[in-house]
């Protein structure tokens, strides 16, 4: 039974695309057949983060408009054979997406994949509402920062009212994924704590991704962080999150950087 | 340990302030959420109820809601035409 999962946040720049790539790759690494779909029409970036930017020929809009077949637009990952990407259009705008068109593509993808991860654009406009429209589950990416928490709350309200599931009286399973978490700053009381965020949003926690240079390093080279350096702290946190998505019980913790003694003495980070 | 650090640095933790501001703001915003739908529903039902007895211009029915801290007010403004008697006769 295929699952449609939207990665959303309301606020921009919190790590939706990075998280979509990392979660998608981690699911594929665990043997699931996965497609990551970019809904950010006009500002696509999932292709870049996945390292497939030079392989895009057809996109989501082409499929919606019948210019290309779904099989022509799907790009298979070069590292993981059960990971696929459906890119967004870079030239069109979000109005080119229709609810019926998206619905029919999602239905086709459901027949082909175990997981369909929809990377939502920022905001609460058409692109974001269409990305969440057919979702069974939602990952709400939140930074420990007031504006991000406020926007997450707004998005949670939309997931509970504007999705097909909500309209049928069913629930979209919602999960909070906290990214860019700095445990040192949180312990000094300079950053909203995990408990504060969860209490305010009243939504269960999927994982805590620590602030890390590995995330930027992975996007620099166009590789999901779980593939680029699976032993890194953020990769381990994403893999734990994915295990929880798959129904496993995994103890919640904030993975920390493993530094060698010399690096620690010299205060240097591994390059 | 935390208070010691704070004593040395002379800074107070800002996270509790963030938490409190968010809780107040979100309590307010969640109250507002869905309000347009509620008002539209109220307007339609009030219009239907009054229209059973008086001929009304649907455009002249205004429903407003103001949320206060302790109580909220629901304001219903219905403009009834001056030839009310005749409207009434026509409606019956």
Longest dimension (CA), chain B: 83
Q: How would you classify the pairing of strands A137-142 and A115-119? A: unpaired
The model's pTM is 0.80
Longest dimension (CA), chain A: 60
Chain A partners within 8 Å of B35 (Cβ): none
Distance of residue B28 Cα from the nearest chain A Cα, in angstroms: 12
Overall average pLDDT of the A78-90 stretch: 95
**pLDDT over 60 at A34, yes or no:** yes
* A59, two tokens: 């996109």
Q: Is the dihedral of CA A88, A137, A220, A144 positive or negative?
A: positive
Give one DSSP letter per residue of A26-73, joined into a string: HHHHTT--EEEEE--TTS--HHHHTT-GGG--S-HHHHHTTSS-HHHH
Chain A partners within 8 Å of B8 (Cβ): none
Overall average pLDDT of the A10-37 stretch: 96
**pLDDT over 90 at A173, yes or no:** yes
Confidence of residue A271 (pLDDT cuts 50, 70, 90): very low
Contact A196 B33 (CB under 8 A): no
Q: What per-residue confidence (pLDDT) applies to A71? A: 95
Q: Which of A80, A86, A82 is nearest to A32 (CA)?
A: A82
**pLDDT over 90 at B77, yes or no:** no
pLDDT digits (tens, 9 = 90+) for A210-219: 999 999 999 9
Q: Give the span between the Cα atoms of A60 and A80, in whole angstroms.
A: 21
Distance of residue A199 Cα from the nearest chain B Cα, in angstroms: 9
Overall average pLDDT of the A17-40 stretch: 97
Angle, nearest 10°, between helix axes A233-245 and A16-29? 70
Whether A104 and A70 have beta carbons less than 8 Å apart is answered as no
* A186, two tokens: 């949180």
B4: closest chain A residue by CA: A188
Give one DSSP letter per residue of A139-190, joined into a string: EEEE-SSHHHHHHHHHHHHHHTTSSHHHHTT---EEEEEEEEE-HHHHHTTS
Q: What per-residue confidence (pLDDT) applies to B84? A: 63
**pLDDT over 80 at B40, yes or no:** no
pLDDT digits (tens, 9 = 90+) for A143-156: 999 999 999 999 99
Name residue A176's beta-bridge partners.
A140, A205
Contact B23 A149 (CB under 8 A): no
Q: Give the span between the Cα atoms of A30 and B24, in whole angstroms.
A: 42
Q: Give the span between the Cα atoms of A135 and A214, in whole angstroms.
A: 30
For chain A, give the mean pLDDT: 92
Q: Mutate which of A143, A188, A190, A195 to disrupt the B interface (most B C-beta within 10 Å)?
A: A188
């Amino acid at each position: 039974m295929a699952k449609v999962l939207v990665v959303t946040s309301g606020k921009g720049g919190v790590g939706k695309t990075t998280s979509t790539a990392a979660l998608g790759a981690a699911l594929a690494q665990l043997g699931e057949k996965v497609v990551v779909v970019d809904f950010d029409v006009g500002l696509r970036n999932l292709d870049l983060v996945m390292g497939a930017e030079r392989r895009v020929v057809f996109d989501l809009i082409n499929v919606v408009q019948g210019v290309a077949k779904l099989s022509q637009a799907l790009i298979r990952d070069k590292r993981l054979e059960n990971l696929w990407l459906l890119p967004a259009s870079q030239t069109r705008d979000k109005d080119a997406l229709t609810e019926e068109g998206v619905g029919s593509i999602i239905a086709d993808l459901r027949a082909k994949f175990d997981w369909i991860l929809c990377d939502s654009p920022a905001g609460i406009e058409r692109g974001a509402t269409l990305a969440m429209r057919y979702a069974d589950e939602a990952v709400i990416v939140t930074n420990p920062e007031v504006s991000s928490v406020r926007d997450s709350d707004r998005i949670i309200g939309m997931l509970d009212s504007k999705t097909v599931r909500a309209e049928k009286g069913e629930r979209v399973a919602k999960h909070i994924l906290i990214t860019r978490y700095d445990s040192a700053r949180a312990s000094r009381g300079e950053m909203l704590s995990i408990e504060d965020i969860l209490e305010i949003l009243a939504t269960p926690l999927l994982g805590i991704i620590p602030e890390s240079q590995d995330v930027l390093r992975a996007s620099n080279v166009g590789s999901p962080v779980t593939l680029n350096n699976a032993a890194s702290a953020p990769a381990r946190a994403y893999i734990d999150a994915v295990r929880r998505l798959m129904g496993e019980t995994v103890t919640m913790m904030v993975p920390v950087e493993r530094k060698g003694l010399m690096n620690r003495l010299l205060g240097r980070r591994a390059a | 340990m935390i208070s010691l650090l704070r004593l040395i640095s002379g800074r107070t933790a800002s996270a509790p302030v963030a938490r409190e501001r968010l809780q107040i703001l979100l309590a307010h915003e969640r109250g507002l959420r869905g309000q347009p739908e509620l008002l539209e529903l109220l307007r339609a039902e009030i219009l239907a109820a009054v229209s059973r007895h008086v001929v009304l211009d649907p455009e002249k029915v205004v429903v407003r809601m103001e949320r206060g801290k302790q109580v909220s007010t629901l304001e219903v403004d219905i403009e009834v035409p001056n030839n009310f008697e005749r409207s009434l006769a026509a409606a019956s």
